Amino acid sequence: MTLALPQSVPAAGAPVAVPFARDLARHGDRLAVVAGDQRWTYRELAQQVDATAARLGGGRRLVLVSGANDAAQLVTYLAALVGGHVALLVPPAHAGTVAAAYDPDAVLPPGGELEVRRRPPAHDLHPELALLMSTSGSTGSPKLARLSHRNVQANAESIAQFLGVRDTDRAVTTLPLHYVYGLSVVHTHLLRGATVVLSDLSVADSCFWDLFEAEGGTTLAGVPHTFDLLDRVGFDRMRLPRLRYVTQAGGRLDPGRVRRYAELGRRGGWDFVVMYGQTEATARMAYLPPELAAAHPSAVGVPIPGGSFVIEPAPEVTTPGVGELVYHGPNVMLGYASEPADLALGRTVTALRTGDLARRTPEGLVEIVGRRSRFVKIAGLRVDLDHLETALSRPGVAVRCTGADGELLVAVDGAEPDAVRREIADRFGLPVRAVTVAAVAPLPRLANGKVDYPELARLVTSAAPAAPVASAAVGSSSPGDLPERLRALYAELLGRPDATLDSTFVDLGGDSLSYVEMSIRLEDELGVVPPNWHVTPLRELAAGASSLVAVEARGWRRVLRLRRLETSAALRALAIVCVISTHAGLFTLLGGAHVLVAVAGFNFARFRLTSAGRVTRLRQQAVSIARIAVPSVIWIAGVVLLTNQYGPLNIVLMNGLFGPSSWTSEWHFWFVEVLVYILVVLAALLAIPSVDRLERRFPLVFPAVLLGFGLLGRYGIVDLGVPHTMPVFWLFAFGWAAARSTTWWQRLALTAVLAATVPGFFGQSARELAIVAGIASLLWLTTVPVPSALSRVVSVLASSSLYVYLTHWQVYPRLNDIHPGLAVAGSLAVGVAAWWLAGRLTGGLTMVGWTAVRQLRSPSTWASSGRRSRATRR
């Protein structure tokens, strides 16, 4: 049910008329309308309108007018506005459909006579309602924009003001009356006492230009398709001495063409005015002053007089300064109608959410950069169809895109479809298998000149050749397809459509979370994932694929049913299972949390300390911290709110600094707190330019020094003042140094440090042995074999370990009395579900986790640390 907003209602009495329609006679004997052989002055037009209004009779009626460009339709429309009725303007082809849906009281069919169907009227019409119009691009839908008397009058006045419409102007119609842009041309000229020449001729017809010249046309209006036709008929060579201005709206015109027509106007003595509007705003919302068109051809300009714009955040947009364009002004519709009962509603909207994505230029101009509703998701990526069209179109080549999630349909006129398909794959990283391209000429269009996208989809689907079915087996596709498949894979999992063959996993912002899923998917493509693939350009991965498959066949036959999983990922999955099982009493194996501290340092060095600039590094580290802290704070706050199990210090992750020294339930989240503290301190340290330079110059010495500092806390030489927690910084620094070791003797030295420093830390030999074994495997083993059937399970557990760690405290105690095994399984299931839900809520990829915090991937230390954190908890 739609709720009406407060509004002012006209006083009872005579029906409210739209002022410019009511006052036609004041322009006297000036020529008002030319329609074929009919030529009416304003006084004569007013008489025709009054006579028709008398036929409509008393009471407020719903009057359907099929908005063709002929005198009878115009007179009946104006009569409805004068008599206080509600005009329903529809395309002639859809008059029957809309009439069936709304059952109007009076109907003027195409080429027919006005029929008053009933007396008295049958509809409950709101006092402010004056006009109903199909929304832009409609093909007979019953959804209509409800426009008020004030909407119609205010927009006509505003447009006439910024265009400077004169009573000497003459407009030859190029657009139908049922299209709001075409209707606004009529409104503005009748408001100022100018002449409207009604014609249904196309600008591609020489007869149109004969009429234009004979009637002394001064203004010309067009949508983008109109300018296609103007180019074909040689408009630039025409001599039109009375032409004052040309206006453009109804969709984006290519910036190059905007410049060209602005220059034509400068040479020809007329203005070129780009405008922007929607039916819901009764026509126009913005215009680009003619003198700015050549310098700012991508902009739609400034708000019309009386209107204003606000750019509000849009969740799918990450570009700074870009958001949804919201318009405020007296021309904003009352709301939508979908059925006759809606005609009684008053104002249900106060501002128009355009659905367009926009930004402001430094000069203060509004520039439309995309359409929220013109997005499809291909291979997990949001694809802006408007941007794609603009990027692919060029002089002599028209490209239009449509489709649905998982399928991109492209119509091309003027280029080879296969070439366009390859260009889409190369430039935008979209998988070729999801793109269908076909030659379609001419492009199908609606009556208003806009592209008919439903028909376009049908034509592309029917015209495109059937795509071959690719085999899923490794190596079954042609070698030439492999680079594209790898690029598409990176684009999908990392959210980076800009991936190229020279990109590496780390360059694109890959982290320890996406690393797990990516390595598995790469193994599907390559057979064997080479060492250091995450820093290897895609081009080299694809080039080495055939030799890798050969090695697989010869040397790994005995483990053909195994996958090689990255060691840190396997450790995260194993550690979280050990942590939960130990807590639930299924079995006891301590030390997993401390292994994960080292894993966190290992992945911090690999994924966060890249060759990127200092500012980029800091931004990535900030995201890493947020990826641990935000879900932790949300979960802990929820638990406190519902159970009071923890305290305020837990919510703000400060228990490690200010909590009790004895072990209580408040220490459940010590691992999360430790990681946040470490990452915050390191971010602050590396923010210092001189420290940043030292780390880059001495990549192994730097963490080795930090390791030495950490050992001061481990042996209690320096009192850090934080019981139970910060002494483990030495393990984080150890993992960092392990990632930087490049030779066997460096790894051997670190192993010696490990063996010398871990024993005695806990006084529990089994726990200390587990820690040494786990970190040593991280140091010496790049990957470990995992049964193929379990690789996906291990991947999910590694990716969701933070959420498993956070939630298991509230899960396993409730199931432990039934069976510890059930408690472990329940804890893992709830944690995985929480991770999956968090990924959906943030718009991230399911197997990558929290990547939606930024649509273009950003660092992932937290991810790596996050997982470790859960496992680390004890």
pLDDT, position 426: 72
Six-digit token string for 836: 């999956």
Six-digit token string for 376: 């499809």
- The mean of the pLDDT values for the chain is 82
Sign of CA dihedral 585, 591, 594, 595: negative
> Which of 207-221, 431-445, 763-777 is the most confident on average?
207-221
* The residue count for the chain: 874
pLDDT, position 209: 95
CB burial readout 748-781, b (16+ within 10 A) else e = eebbebbeebbeebeeeeebbebbbebbbbbbee
Q: Going from the N-terminus, what domains does the chain have, and what CATH number goes with each?
A: 19-360 (3.40.50.12780), 374-463 (3.30.300.30), 486-565 (1.10.1200.10), 568-872 (no CATH)
Rounded to 5 degrees, what angle do the CA atoms 187, 189, 195 make? 130
Closest alpha carbon to 244 in 189, 178, 314: 189
Question: What is the 3-class SS of 378-433, one letter each residue?
Answer: ECCEEEEHHHHHHHHCECCEEEEEEEECCEEEEEEECCCHHHHHHHHHHHHCCCHH
Q: What is the mean pLDDT of residues 528-536?
A: 69
CA distance 737 to 115: 88
pTM above 0.75, yes or no: no
Condensed to tens digits (0 to 9), the pLDDT of residues 46-71 reads: 999 999 999 998 889 999 998 889 99
Condensed to tens digits (0 to 9), the pLDDT of residues 298-326 reads: 999 999 999 999 999 887 677 789 899 99
Condensed to tens digits (0 to 9), the pLDDT of residues 824-847 reads: 999 999 999 998 888 667 544 333
Side-chain-side CA neighbours of 869 within 13 Å: the count stands at 32
Six-digit token string for 66: 């099929």
Confidence band for 514, pLDDT divided at 50, 70 and 90: low
Q: What is the distance between the terminal CA atoms of the chain, rounded to a whole angstrom?
A: 53
pLDDT, position 850: 32
CA distance 271 to 258: 12
What backbone phi and psi angles, to 5 degrees, belong to 350?
Answer: -115, -15
Condensed to tens digits (0 to 9), the pLDDT of residues 587-641 reads: 888 888 889 899 999 988 887 887 667 887 888 788 788 889 999 999 999 999 8
**Does the pLDDT of residue 812 top 80, yes or no?**
yes
**Does the pLDDT of residue 475 top 50, yes or no?**
no
Condensed to tens digits (0 to 9), the pLDDT of residues 229-256 reads: 898 889 999 999 999 999 999 888 888 8
**Does the pLDDT of residue 719 top 50, yes or no?**
yes
Strand partners of residue 871: none
Q: What is the mean pLDDT of residues 220-225?
A: 90
Worst-scoring range by mean pLDDT, 223-232, 349-358, 401-410?
401-410
Share of the chain above pLDDT 90, in %: 44
Instruction: Say whether the peptide bond before residue 120 is cis (omega within 30 degrees of 0).
Output: yes
**Does the pLDDT of residue 673 top 70, yes or no?**
yes
Q: What is the DSSP letter of 242?
A: T
User: Is 501:538 a contact under the CB 8 Å cutoff?
Assistant: yes
Worst-scoring range by mean pLDDT, 168-172, 205-209, 378-382, 769-773?
378-382
Condensed to tens digits (0 to 9), the pLDDT of residues 395-425 reads: 888 899 988 766 889 999 988 888 888 888 7
Closest alpha carbon to 107 in 129, 124, 90: 90
User: Is 524:549 a contact under the CB 8 Å cutoff?
Assistant: no
Place of tokens 């291979």: 379
Worst-scoring range by mean pLDDT, 150-159, 216-225, 652-661?
652-661
pLDDT, position 870: 30
Instruction: Say whether the peptide bond before residue 468 is cis (omega within 30 degrees of 0).
Output: no
User: Is 533:519 a contact under the CB 8 Å cutoff?
Assistant: yes
CA distance 470 to 245: 55
Residue 281 is which amino acid?
A
Closest alpha carbon to 561 in 239, 791, 342: 791
In this structure, the strands spanning 283-288 and 271-278 are: antiparallel
**Does the pLDDT of residue 445 top 90, yes or no?**
no
Q: What is the mean pLDDT of residues 348-357?
A: 92
Closest alpha carbon to 69 in 145, 153, 179: 179
